Amino acid sequence: DVKVTQSSRYLVKRTGEKVFLECVQDMDHENMFWYRQDPGLGLRLIYFSYDVKMKEKGDIPEGYSVSREKKERFSLILESASTNQTSMYLCATRQGSNSPLHFGNGTRLTVT
């Protein structure tokens, strides 16, 4: 089974802080994704990466950046956290272009 591990289940940060969300996968998948999930808005893609050091913007990249220095690790960075970034953040991986996404258990971030 694919295992996608997100380093924190819950985080509370203050406005203006720099926040790092970490995601590690154990299946050697090339593609990794960061989504956020909000009530009434569903899952929205922030960024994805199809290879080490490669990244593509998703639908809502503003206020976020990503880093992929190793194949198994994909980090989401909030440069200066704001209250509208309070959300559930989900990391996912996939093996190939027609295969499903496999999700981690999420990080619930609260920015106060």
The residue ranges that bind another protein (CB under 8 A) are 4, 31, 33, 40, 42-43, 45, 48, 50, 56, 58-59, 90, 92, 94, 97-106, 108
Of 17 and 108, nearer to another protein (C-beta) is 108
- Put the strands of the sheet holding 73-78 in their side by side order: 4-6, 19-25, 73-78, 64-70
Of 75 and 106, nearer to another protein (C-beta) is 106
CB of 111 to another protein, least distance (A): 18
Measure the CA–CA gap between 72 and 64, rounded to whole angstroms.
20
Measure the CA–CA gap between 51 and 94, rounded to whole angstroms.
12
Of 38 and 79, nearer to another protein (C-beta) is 38
CB of 109 to another protein, least distance (A): 13
CB of 74 to another protein, least distance (A): 13
CB of 21 to another protein, least distance (A): 13
